[in-house]
Amino acid sequence: MNNEKTKYIFVTGGVISGLGKGIAAASIGYLLKTRGFNVTIQKFDPYINVDPGTMSPYQHGEVYVLDDGAETDLDLGHYERFIDVNMSRINNTTTGQVYHEVISRERRGDYLGATVQVIPHITGEIKRRIAAVNESQKYDVVICEIGGTVGDIESLPFLEAIRQFSIETGRGNSITIHLTLVPYIETSGEMKTKPTQHSVMRLREIGIQPDILLCRTKYPLVDELRRKISLFCNVYPEAVIEALDADTIYEIPMHFNKQMIVEIISKQLNLPIRKGNLKDLESFVAKVKNPKHEVNIGICGKYTQLHDAYKSILESFIHAGVENDAKVNIKWIGAEELSSPEKAQAALQKVDGLLVPGGFGDRGVEGKILAITVARENKIPFFGICLGLQCAVIEFARNVCGLKDAHSHEFSEETTNPVVSLMEEQKEISTKGGTMRLGAYSATIEKKTKASKIYNEQIISERHRHRYEVNNKYLDILLANGLIIGAKNEELDLVEMIEIPDHPWFVACQFHPELKSRVSKAHPLFAHFVKASLNYKKTQK
Ligand code: GLN
């Protein structure tokens, strides 16, 4: 396909937000990939923040970090997990970035006296970014998801840009797929097409005619409804695709595939019709739905009310569950509720493994530390991620090394034992985000550790998003008391993983392994943690 033109699929959303546009885009990407096309996916977010890095997880859910350190929308996680391609900064653009770029150019005088306007300058920058994602020309198909809902003021420049882009790339080189909702009205027992008709009308008003409709629905779309939607929305009946609520998101590509979505897309984009199969995904989904075993994992964090804040961790547990033929039941443990050792003890009685995930700010930190004490003393499998590692080090320093006031400088400026602190060279940088260690760093695994068995590799690369580090001044005392280092960043001389040998599974990492788990390959740390928790469960019978 290499010498032919790149094809573009724009994915828009109507009626309401939260219909799963990101997963729909990722599913289509997955299907195209199984047919041998090289695919990438890009997301446009209409908010004015430059990136989600400064937003509260309650506002935005998880911040998904890429290898190059870009802090991006959690949909990028779905893209990477489904199509198994490592993305980069250009795969996620926000209104903030677009304006930032245009205003910087204006200040430099690049516009040579012109009046700078939404059209053509903002739309021009958006189009530049659509093209830039395939600068290397390695992709056959670029899928481009427009965040927000059609009809929002914020997304208008993006929609105008894709309208122009489609015309400029010529007939047969781009299509628009629009995701809508066909609600079911309980009282009358009817499914309604009007919201879909109206949202398509909004799109057509601004010059975009969808080529395919994905209709989110609770019940199957009967032929009569399909015909009605087709007629009123100007979309061929076979291109009105039913997007039925699914038991697991990994089933969605299978639903779409049955309705011949790839053949329809291929015809519309003049792509060769290729064969492919979904055997791997089918066996994955079969395992998700019919697991042999079951295990309870406690996640002790402070955003437990909003599960999107831990999206990648939850998906990683699904992947790891499949590898262990087990269903992983997540038990949320609100860290702030653990106000005494007794409460921590009681909370951990219900679980076979404890995960303390990443986080910022001191809320709930003492509860996490109490939970870790229980896991360490009772030999319950423990997995610490980022702040989870930092809490484990504080716990060990306080309760095993006897450094009673051990703490992180993030939470206590006064502590005389800052076992977690900023590196010297970070201290002078004051811009928010400026001191963060972001993106991929490699680490060397220490021999004869659990880490070496888990990874079975000497050098690993994992993604980071944190400001504080284990304070090397305390390494001697930590190691003398039995903690061991699982992995180190040799170049920066930083601890990357720790473990306790005299424990069935007490492993923590400074990086975020959940960002590298894939449908096709569970992350080994999650897979081994689930395995250890299953073993723990057996011993409890
Ligand atoms: N707040 C800690 C730090 O900045 C941990 C961050 C995280 O868990 N992502 O170092």
Q: Whose CA is nearest to atom 5 of ligand 1?
A: 387
Q: Partners of 217 in the beta sheet?
A: 244
State in Å: Cα 418 to ligand 1 middle. 15
Q: 253 with 358, same domain?
A: no
Token pair of 247, please? 């038991």
Give the integer Cα–Cα distance in Å for 339 and 355: 18
Q: 77 with 151, same domain?
A: yes
Report which of 311, 354, 316, 317 is spatially closest to residue 335, judged by C-alpha positions.
354
Is 512 in the active site? Answer: yes
CATH code (residue 44): 3.40.50.300
Mutate to test the pocket of ligand 1, among 465, 470, 512, 515 (most ligand atoms within 8 A of CB): 465
Residue ranges making up the domain that contains 461: 294-420+435-539
Q: 162 with 100, same domain?
A: yes
Query: Which one is catalytic: 386, 391, 401, 509?
Result: 386
Which residues are CB-neighbours of 233 under 8 A, at least 6 positions away? 196, 197, 200, 210, 213, 240
Q: Whose CA is nearest to atom 6 of ligand 1?
A: 466
**Given the CA of residue 358, which atom of ligand 1 is nearest to it?**
8
**Given the CA of residue 386, which atom of ligand 1 is nearest to it?**
8
Q: Whose CA is nearest to atom 1 of ligand 1?
A: 360
pLDDT in tens, the chain (541 residues): 444 689 999 999 999 988 999 999 999 999 999 999 999 999 999 999 998 888 887 778 899 999 999 999 999 999 999 999 899 999 999 999 999 999 999 999 999 999 999 999 999 999 999 999 998 889 999 999 999 999 999 999 999 999 999 999 988 999 999 999 999 999 999 999 999 999 999 999 999 999 999 999 999 999 999 999 999 999 999 999 999 999 999 999 999 999 999 999 999 999 999 999 999 999 999 999 999 999 999 999 988 778 888 999 999 999 999 999 999 999 999 999 999 999 999 999 999 999 999 999 889 999 999 999 999 999 999 999 999 999 999 999 999 999 999 999 999 999 999 999 998 766 655 544 458 999 999 999 999 999 999 999 999 999 999 999 999 999 999 999 999 999 999 999 999 999 999 999 999 999 999 999 999 899 999 999 999 999 999 998 7
Token pair of 474, please? 């305390």
User: Is 199 part of any domain?
Assistant: yes
**Given the CA of residue 512, which atom of ligand 1 is nearest to it?**
9
Query: Which one is catalytic: 60, 512, 523, 528?
Result: 512
CATH code (residue 493): 3.40.50.880
User: Is 289 part of any domain?
Assistant: no
State in Å: Cα 465 to ligand 1 middle. 7
Q: 369 with 512, same domain?
A: yes
Q: 267 with 306, same domain?
A: no
Is 386 in the active site? Answer: yes
State in Å: Cα 76 to ligand 1 middle. 21
C-alpha dist (Å) from residue 152 to 158, 180, 301: 11, 15, 34
Q: 93 with 45, same domain?
A: yes
State in Å: Cα 464 to ligand 1 middle. 9
Q: 414 with 516, same domain?
A: yes
Q: 265 with 188, same domain?
A: yes
C-alpha dist (Å) from residue 132 to 204, 292, 314, 329, 380: 27, 46, 32, 41, 49
User: Is 181 part of any domain?
Assistant: yes
**Other Cβ atoms closer than 10 A to 18:** 9
User: Is 264 part of any domain?
Assistant: yes
State in Å: Cα 306 to ligand 1 middle. 18
Mutate to test the pocket of ligand 1, among 71, 386, 410 (most ligand atoms within 8 A of CB): 386
Mutate to test the pocket of ligand 1, among 368, 410, 426, 429 (most ligand atoms within 8 A of CB): 410
User: Is 273 part of any domain?
Assistant: yes
Q: What is the pLDDT of residue 407?
A: 96
Mutate to test the pocket of ligand 1, among 299, 435, 467 (most ligand atoms within 8 A of CB): 467
> Can you tell me which residue has the tokens 């896991």?
375
* pTM to 2 decimal places: 0.93
Q: 82 with 162, same domain?
A: yes
Q: 227 with 367, same domain?
A: no
Of 224, 251, 282, which residue is a domain's last? Answer: 282
User: Is 34 part of any domain?
Assistant: yes
**Given the CA of residue 361, which atom of ligand 1 is nearest to it?**
1
> Can you tell me which residue has the tokens 């840009």?
161
Q: 356 — phi, psi (to 5°)? A: -110, 110
Number of domains composing the chain? 2
State in Å: Cα 390 to ligand 1 middle. 8
State in Å: Cα 392 to ligand 1 middle. 13
The predicted-structure confidence for 443-492, as pLDDT tens digits, reads as follows 999 999 999 999 999 999 999 999 999 999 999 999 999 999 999 999 99
**Given the CA of residue 360, which atom of ligand 1 is nearest to it?**
1
Q: Roughly how many angstroms between the first and final C-alpha of the chain, as a whole number?
A: 57
Q: What is the pLDDT of residue 520?
A: 84
Name every protein residue with a CB atom under 6 angstroms from any ligand 1 atom.
Answer: 358-360, 386-387, 410, 465-468
461: left (phi over 0), alpha (psi -120 to 50) or beta: beta
Contact of 451 with 507, CB cutoff 8 Å? yes
Q: What is the pLDDT of residue 306?
A: 84
Q: Whose CA is nearest to atom 8 of ligand 1?
A: 358
Q: What is the pLDDT of residue 426?
A: 64
User: Is 427 part of any domain?
Assistant: no
> Can you tell me which residue has the tokens 């963060």?
436
Q: What is the pLDDT of residue 304?
A: 78
Beta strands 141-146 and 39-45, pairing class: parallel
**Given the CA of residue 385, which atom of ligand 1 is nearest to it?**
8
Of 282, 306, 325, which residue is a domain's last? Answer: 282
255: left (phi over 0), alpha (psi -120 to 50) or beta: alpha
Query: Which one is catalytic: 315, 514, 523, 528?
Result: 514
State in Å: Cα 358 to ligand 1 middle. 6
User: Is 2 part of any domain?
Assistant: no
Give the integer Cα–Cα distance in Å for 464 and 492: 14
Of 261, 282, 303, which residue is a domain's last? Answer: 282
Q: 387 with 260, same domain?
A: no
Q: 226 with 307, same domain?
A: no
